Homo-oligomer: A and B are copies of this chain.
């Protein structure tokens, strides 16, 4: 059920027990959803007693927020890096979609929480991640805009095209399972081609 946790995940979260709790929460939230997961589930999966969670987090909601926030920040950073990268709008959009899709597959547990547990966040917590989400979408729109102005993309409506591009990637988190072939990196490349075709790229 649980895959080995990469050591580079949440390097800033200390102590180690807090990271283990977050990793256990990711598995549980992704599999059953935030509301169906109990604090006992999380603590037990991390090898601790139920009370241990409250040594490191003030509440169950704070665990969700920590996961959702860092996931949103990672997603935005990826998209911004692809936008700022070298190459034509076509090349940069291809790289953006390939990496975004690959992330939604590889980290589909985190991605599921990021994309599908927004309604479980408090109003204050939601405001923080909503701002990150708006920035992410704005970057995609800006890149399509650039391609349209350069004459390499042909789309009827930039706003809808951006939504469609993001939908393709985000929805991967919903259906992806680790046994799916091709593997995430190759899947990302195929989706990048589909996305560029959809944008009418030459």
Chain A positions near chain B (C-beta within 8 angstroms): 31-33, 35-36, 115-116, 119-120, 156-157, 160-161, 163-164, 167-168, 170-172, 174-175, 187, 190-191, 193-195, 197-198, 200
Contacts and interface: CB of A to CB of B under 8 A. Distances in A.
Nearest to A154: B197
Closest 8 CB pairs of A and B: A167-B171, A35-B35, A198-B198, A35-B36, A171-B171, A164-B194, A197-B198, A194-B198
Given A168-B164, A187-B160, A190-B156, A116 B116 contact: yes
Main secondary structure, interface of A, reads helix
Identical subunits present: 2
A44 to B, nearest CB: 19
A9 to B, nearest CB: 23
Contacts of A168: 164, 167-168, 171
A24 to B, nearest CB: 17
Nearest to A199: B197
Contact of A200 (B120, B160, B197): B197
29 contacts: A31-B119, A33-B35, A33-B119, A36-B119, A36-B120, A115-B174, A116-B116, A157-B190, A160-B190, A160-B191, A161-B194, A163-B175, A164-B168, A164-B191, A167-B167, A167-B168, A167-B174, A167-B175, A168-B168, A168-B171, A170-B171, A170-B174, A171-B171, A194-B198, A195-B198, A197-B197, A197-B198, A197-B200, A198-B198
